[in-house]
Chain A
Amino acid sequence: MSDIRVYEQGGEAGFGDYVQLLKPRVMSLVVFTAFVGLLVAPVPVHPFIAFTSILFIALGGGASGALNMWWDADIDAKMRRTRGRPVPAGSVAADEALALGIGLTVISVAMLGLSANFAAAGLLAFTIFFYVVIYTMWLKRTTPQNIVIGGAAGAFPPMIGWACATGGISIESVLMFALIFMWTPPHFWSLALFMKDDYSNAGVPMLTVTHGRKATRRHILIYTVLLAPVALGAGFTSIGGPVYLASSVVLNAIFLKGAWDIWRRDEAQAEADKYAVEKRVFRFSLLYLFLHFGALLAEAVLHAYGLGAW
């Protein structure tokens, strides 16, 4: 009588593992900012088309996440924060992540073209290319400015959302892009200050590793100073208004104070209170971005009722 024998298989992935490949937390930021970009645009979009467009933008973001995990599996395995990801954990094979990333790229770009327009689809394709090739494959491992240039990829979603509605680019969408672009360096560098072992262990040339922590603190302050006029500037365009401008003034004042506090500290002080200020500024930076886009959304809603806006 024959006996069925099965050999232990190394990690067969569940559905949740494939979802993890799409970086759902990053995707939530993509969805929110793309949604705001689409909603604040002056051209109304059918609700179902708006829903499908946001869905395909999110799927495109997920595709770039999967391709990033495929390429970065070696350094992900070395970092505490990322070693539980599906590829380094062994639950999904690297070539499966590659196949999923390519498949979702094709589907998301083609479907966004059909759902909204091909200008938006082109921007989505460029965003995926930028994140995967320019940032992940090239800059991340070669320059300490990786975060600055790579941050552009995360800044495109509101611009794509705007293009879904209008079919083009304008000063408003460029300013929404610039807001996220300038916000990314102080946000990630404050994280890098208190996650110091991770990036050095993986050999990623983070500014903290290549130029030291003092230089990183100075860079955080410089970028936060440069961020303020960009954020306030958006308040004077058609998407801004008194609500946005008032919120932006308060948020930038708090962020600048945090960046100033980081710049004034040295490592001994930071070690003494276990990077309390750096952690506070990092947490606040998340709120900063969320509230800026929330204020833009509020202006759009008020505008629909004949209130707010300039």
Chain B
Amino acid sequence: MSFPPEHELHKRRLGRNLGLGLSLLAFVVIVFGMTIVKVSREPHPAAAKPAVAAPAQGTQP
């Protein structure tokens, strides 16, 4: 059987490839969005370090 250029199989493959492509794109967008939300809401532990206490007065010799 020869394959006509516009076989129904090609349409199904195209639909599957497009669907998979869009799903992957959506996944990338979701991971990116989650990263932005998490980073902007939760301060990095290093940024939350308490400031170095100033030396108390009157302790210097």
Q: Identify the A interface with B (CB < 8 A).
A: 3-9, 12-16, 18-19, 46, 48-49, 52, 55, 111, 114-115
Contact = CB atoms under 8 A, between A and B. Distances in A.
A13 B20 CA distance: 13
Contact of A12 (B9, B18, B20): B9
Interface of B: 1-3, 9, 12-13, 15-16, 18-20, 30, 33-34, 37, 41
Of B3, B18, B20, B30, the most chain A CB neighbours within 10 A belong to: B30
Nearest to A107: B27
Given A15-B15, A15-B16, A6 B30 contact: no
Contact of B1 (A5, A12, A18): A5
Given A4-B3, A19-B19, A111-B30, 7 more contacts: A3-B2, A5-B2, A13-B16, A14-B16, A15-B15, A52-B34, A115-B34
Given A7-B1, A8-B1, A48 B33 contact: yes
Contact of B12 (A13, A46, A114): A13
Nearest to B7: A6
B9 A52 contact: no
B26 to A, nearest CB: 9
A100 B51 CA distance: 51
A22 to B, nearest CB: 12
A16 B34 contact: no
Contact of B18 (A3, A15, A19): A15
A6 B34 contact: no
Contacts of A12: 9, 12-13
A12 B19 CA distance: 15
A115 B33 CA distance: 10
14 contacts: A6-B2, A12-B12, A14-B15, A15-B15, A15-B16, A15-B18, A15-B20, A46-B41, A48-B34, A48-B37, A49-B34, A52-B30, A52-B34, A114-B34
Given A13-B16, A14-B16, A15-B19, A4 B30 contact: no
Contacts of A9: 9
B15 A16 contact: yes
Sorted nearest first, the 9 A-B pairs with minimum C-beta distance are A15-B19, A14-B12, A15-B16, A15-B15, A6-B3, A48-B37, A14-B15, A48-B33, A46-B37
A194 B18 CA distance: 41
Contacts of A16: 15
Contacts of A4: 2-3
Nearest to B20: A15
Of B12, B15, B19, B41, the most chain A CB neighbours within 10 A belong to: B12
A46 B19 CA distance: 28
B33 A52 contact: yes
Contacts of A48: 33-34, 37
B20 to A, nearest CB: 7
A115 B16 CA distance: 28
Nearest to B9: A12
A89 B12 CA distance: 16
A115 B18 CA distance: 26
A261 to B, nearest CB: 46
Nearest to B30: A52
A296 B12 CA distance: 42
Nearest to A56: B30
A70 to B, nearest CB: 19
A7 B13 CA distance: 16
B7 to A, nearest CB: 8
